[in-house]
Structure 1
Amino acid sequence: MSLIKKINNFFSKAESTSVLGVSLHQHSFAFFSCPEQGESQFQQISSPLAEHPQQIKIQQEKYQLQGQCHLVLASSQTQIVQVDKPNIPENELNAALKWQIKDLVNHSPEDMVVDYFDGPILSGGNEKINVVCASKKELLALIGPLNQNGLTLKSITTEEFAFASLLSVQDDACLMVCQQPNEEIILLIVKQGKVFFSRRLRGFAQISTKTEEELSLGIVDNLNLEIQRSTDYFERQLKQAPIRSIEVIVPMANEALLARKLAENTNVAVNLLTMPEGFTHSREFAVSLGATKLNNMEPII
């Protein structure tokens, strides 16, 4: 049973149709609120990561936030590692995974909350899983403000799944180039509504501050190199069919230029990700919005 299910067993609240998506960043957090009545709203709140629990409570009271809450952890709060899937019963997996990954992550098994999502089955039947790990202590500090005063915490997930939820389900593999404001870029490969591959890059957090000339003189080339490495791994190592398109969601003034420059070095279509209807101008809030639209995406923790 997931941590969220255990917590919700202690609460008996009528289901609300209001939804709240909260995405945490290193120096801020954002939320998307869609109440039963009234207009939807987005807000970005400056706050150090350690102060998020207190600030979330303040904003909940200020904006009277209610309903079903979906939380997206900051990338610095989670680690994702790929391991061989143990040959044990499913109900024993989470407990076993803590000890299998203890030397690969920064948390002790006693402070770990883990879950996993399946990776592709490699030739020879070797099955991989992607294990997501977070600190139990950090999660418990966040859960309180999001599970009281009219809020019910329904899911905790990662940026990867929140971004992927915005992509329509399709049979062909699609590579997503994703970024939250002032955070690092993430590369995802999504196929049939599932995350097949994810990679967190380094060195691109300030890409939105770069001029057209700076983007053209090296930055786009470096990003293209990372994209090529990822597609090569997906197609050659994982033995998957080639990707058919690239979708870009990197909210900045030169986003269209970035997409055009990426298109110059690939033979597949490169598009700006289409946001859900009514939210075309809310690209910087894609993750908090995506958290409320997980669809067939599994909440992680």
Structure 2
Amino acid sequence: MSPPLFGRAQNKKSQLSLGLRLGSQQFSLACLQAQPESPLLQRVHTEATSGLEDFSQKLTRLVDQWQLHGEIARVVLNNDLYRLLQADTPNVPEPERDAALAWSLKDVLDFPATEAVISSFLPPVSPRGGNERLFVAAAHKAKIRPYVEKIAAAGLKLDTIDIPELCARNLLTKLNPPIPSIAMLVQSGRGAVIYVFHDNELVISRPLAGIGDMAVLFSGYENRQLMDQLVLEIQRTLDFYESQIGRRPIGKLVLPPLPDELTPLPEFLRQNLNVALLSLDIATLLPTDESIDKTALPQAWLAVGAALRELPVSEVQRATG
């Protein structure tokens, strides 16, 4: 039987931790080796795929090549495989909460509520004057289960299924010194998204209206309107956090490892935003093997974040039955 979605399988202890990022046209695998002080990032790999069967064949080949049979994998979903919503906390006993949430969100889901797998968690702070609202990660079982089966068939043991927002958080917790209020600008499959973390806990995950692929901004065409829109949407998010949630300004705006086509982005943001910018360098967060293919990190950084998932399991990862 497949392990429960968003849950954990009980497995033997291992010195390795694997993070597997599922993408619509590619996957990434990161391998961490346990060490006394901090895990060592041993390997990362990104590979294009052309469908589920191609993914299965290429993952199986990689598991064989890296000799990973029986190892634990922590999966991070692509944005087209889940939705992160917010909802009022239902007035039901906690064991019934996720079922009640699925029913309350039935009108905004694009699949039947009875086919939803739901996991929810409470932000550390709520907007000023507002009710407590849960973050709700919702996925369609029919879309997730084929991946679960292919991962098991490749020889890996599925431990958790996570979302990008929380895998990004896992990396940010490695910053030294820590930054109490931090935002991250991310290119997702659905467009540009900004995450905001308050004391290392997610408080905002917001798609930036009108901004699809940020690489278009630097494609050589006149894109001043889109550039202005990007700056406006980021600033709106930072202002909302400061005035309504954090009661303090954002300390840093973080950029994950970027592909070549987004090389101009950091300088553009420095010139147009009044916030300190930090380009995330995985090698400064974790000991990293010298043989690592750094060109894979713009696609694989979330896989690294998934591999960093610490136990015990958090609220968002509990099995939903």
Which TM-score bucket, shorter chain as reference? 0.7 to 0.9
C-alpha contact 1:247 1:270 (8 A) present in aligned 2: yes
The residue aligned with 1:113 is: 117
1:141-185 deviation per Cα after TM superposition (whole angstroms, max 9, x unaligned) = 2222334665221111111111221113646211111236x7733
- AA at the equivalent of 1:292: A
The residue aligned with 1:132 is: 137
The residue aligned with 1:283 is: 297
Distance verdict in 2 for CA 1:172–1:34, change over 3 Å: closer
1:57 aligns with 2:60: yes
- AA at the equivalent of 1:277: L
C-alpha contact 1:208 1:251 (8 A) present in aligned 2: no
Partners of 1:75 and 1:115 lie apart in 2 by 15
Partners of 1:202 and 1:125 lie apart in 2 by 23
C-alpha contact 2:88 2:134 (8 A) present in aligned 1: yes
The residue aligned with 1:265 is: 272
C-alpha contact 1:20 1:65 (8 A) present in aligned 2: no
Distance verdict in 2 for CA 1:94–1:190, change over 3 Å: same
1:5-57 deviation per Cα after TM superposition (whole angstroms, max 9, x unaligned) = 87736xxx422222211111111111112468998222222113544445433
1:168-179 maps to which residues of 2 (within 5 A)? 168=173, 170=178, 172-179=180-187
Q: Give the unaligned 5+ runs of structure 1.
A: none
1:211-230 maps to which residues of 2 (within 5 A)? 211=218, 214=221, 217-230=224-237
Give the % identical residues.
23
The one of 190, 193, 206 aligned to 1:199? 206
1:253 aligns with 2:260: yes
Partners of 2:280 and 2:32 lie apart in 1 by 22
1:160 aligns with 2:162: no
Moved more, 224-233 or 57-66: 57-66
C-alpha contact 1:33 1:42 (8 A) present in aligned 2: yes
The residue aligned with 2:76 is: 72
Moved more, 228-237 or 156-165: 228-237
C-alpha contact 1:65 1:150 (8 A) present in aligned 2: yes
3-state SS of 1:165 partner: helix
C-alpha contact 2:98 2:118 (8 A) present in aligned 1: yes
- AA at the equivalent of 2:4: L
C-alpha contact 2:256 2:279 (8 A) present in aligned 1: yes
Higher relative contact order (CA 8 A, sep 6+): 2
Moved more, 229-238 or 125-134: 229-238
1:75-125 deviation per Cα after TM superposition (whole angstroms, max 9, x unaligned) = 000011111111222222111111011111112122110101213334456
Partners of 1:146 and 1:291 lie apart in 2 by 15
Partners of 1:250 and 1:239 lie apart in 2 by 26
Query: TM-score normalised to the size of structure 1?
Result: 0.83
C-alpha contact 1:179 1:250 (8 A) present in aligned 2: no
Moved more, 289-298 or 189-198: 289-298
Q: Give the unaligned 5+ runs of structure 2.
A: none
3-state SS of 1:71 partner: strand
The residue aligned with 2:46 is: 44
Q: How many angstroms does 1:211 deviate by?
A: 4.0
C-alpha contact 1:25 1:74 (8 A) present in aligned 2: yes
The residue aligned with 2:9 is: 8
